[in-house]
Amino acid sequence: MATISLDSLDLAALLCSRVCHDVISPVGAIVNGLEVLEDDSDASMRDFALDLIQKSARQASARLQFARLAFGAAGSAGASIDLGDAEQVARGLFLDDKISFSWSSPRLLFPKNRVKLLLNLVMIATTAIPRGGSIAVTVTGDAETCAFTIVSKGLNARIPAHSEALLAGSSETGTVDAHGIQIFYAGMVARASNMNIAFSIEGDEVTIRAETV
């Protein structure tokens, strides 16, 4: 394995690509719904379009709020973020009922990078169950010493490809693309947070565990 060499401009570009990938689908659905409203006078189609626009707008808003905490500089004026705020934006990702979601954690202020790590791991957990299922998040400990356990359960559950290498900052080619950038970034945030991450799988369950070093 070769160490990934990525300058700040490339990192920013790949993360922006990742965020845009998540938002473009609901935004496109809003545009489609507006076109139906403009071109179709059928009452049932207009109701369908309005429902699509409302649902997609909520989804786009939820994904942007999530990205603001998971990738952005939200809360940069202080060093901590409320875990309750993290739970709220995480729940917003699961509005479509494809994945059921549960969250168990104390209502505490955690260091910003640890909250960013937790949210990135939640998003990575969704890729472990491509056909849907359930995700359970458990946070234990306090701001100084803590552990995150995220269990994804579903048909054809799998550990995301090349996870261990990307978390360690390496790959076979020494490069990373938009598909792998989230796990690579999670590894960066984990090192900045003084936390270790491990993946395990048993049957149809994938567990992601992060704990203070």
pLDDT digits (tens, 9 = 90+) for 59-94: 999 999 999 999 986 555 557 999 999 999 999 999
Per residue in 2-49, pLDDT tens?
Answer: 999 899 999 999 999 989 998 999 999 999 999 888 886 788 888 889
Residue 73's pLDDT is what?
Answer: 66
Q: Are strands 99-104 and 133-141 parallel, antiparallel or unpaired?
A: parallel
Radius of gyration, CA atoms only, the chain: 18
Do the beta carbons of residue 212 and residue 195 sit within 8 Å? yes
Residue 42's pLDDT is what?
Answer: 81
Give Cα 183 distance to the centre of its chain: 10
**Residues linked to residue 199 through DSSP beta bridges, in sequence order:** 208
Half-sphere exposure of 188 (CA within 13 A, CB side): 15
With 0.85 as the threshold, say if the pTM is over it. Answer: yes
Among residues 100, 211, 198, 199, the alpha carbon closest in space to that of 153 is found at: 100
The DSSP result for 26-39, as a single string, is HHHHHHHHHHHHHH
